[in-house]
Structure 1
Amino acid sequence: MTTTHPNASDTSATHTALWSVVAVSGVANLVASVAQAPLVVNLATGLVTLAALTALGARHLRARRTRV
């Protein structure tokens, strides 16, 4: 099995921004859960986290297809 090193494009601003959104919305979701915030706040932060993770996954799969 060969290992591939990430390209320079893997550290793009979009990649960094998406990971930042995942981190911030994940922490916001955790705080909302602990603070027993209304359900709409938990759902909103959870959906933002899910959307950012989906975008990261799609970018990964797209980059993987072009590398092969």
Structure 2
Amino acid sequence: MTTTHPKASDDSVTRTALWALVAVSGVANLVTSVAQAPLVVNLVTGLVTLAALTALGVRHLRARRSGA
């Protein structure tokens, strides 16, 4: 049985960056909620988190369909 390891590529860098964005924007959203920041700030951090999670989901589904 041969085990292949994925090469470090743009895909892994992009995935890591998206996960980092999810973490940072999620924490920022939590802080803005607790600190009772203006609604627009809370909405922006929430939308950034949602966009990053959506991008991760789309990438995952495309990878499954292509057989990668």
Which range, TM-score by smaller chain? Answer: 0.7 to 0.9
Structure 2 distance, partners of 1:57, 1:30, is 22
Offset of residue 66 of structure 1: 0.8
**Residue 31 to residue 9, structure 1, CA distance change in 2 (3 Å):** farther
Counting aligned pairs with the same residue, the percent is 76
Paired letter, 2:6: A
Q: Which residue of structure 2 aligns with residue 43 of structure 1?
A: 43
| 1:23-62 equivalent positions in 2, closer than 5 A | 23-62=23-62
Equivalent residue pairs, number? 62
**Residue 22 to residue 63, structure 1, CA distance change in 2 (3 Å):** same
> Residues 27-66 of structure 1, C-alpha deviation per residue, up to 9 Å, x if partnerless?
0000000000000000000000000000000000000001
**Residue 33 to residue 25, structure 1, CA distance change in 2 (3 Å):** same
> Normalising to structure 2: TM-score of the pair?
0.84
Offset of residue 9 of structure 1: 6.2
> Normalising to structure 1: TM-score of the pair?
0.84
Structure 2 distance, partners of 1:32, 1:50, is 16
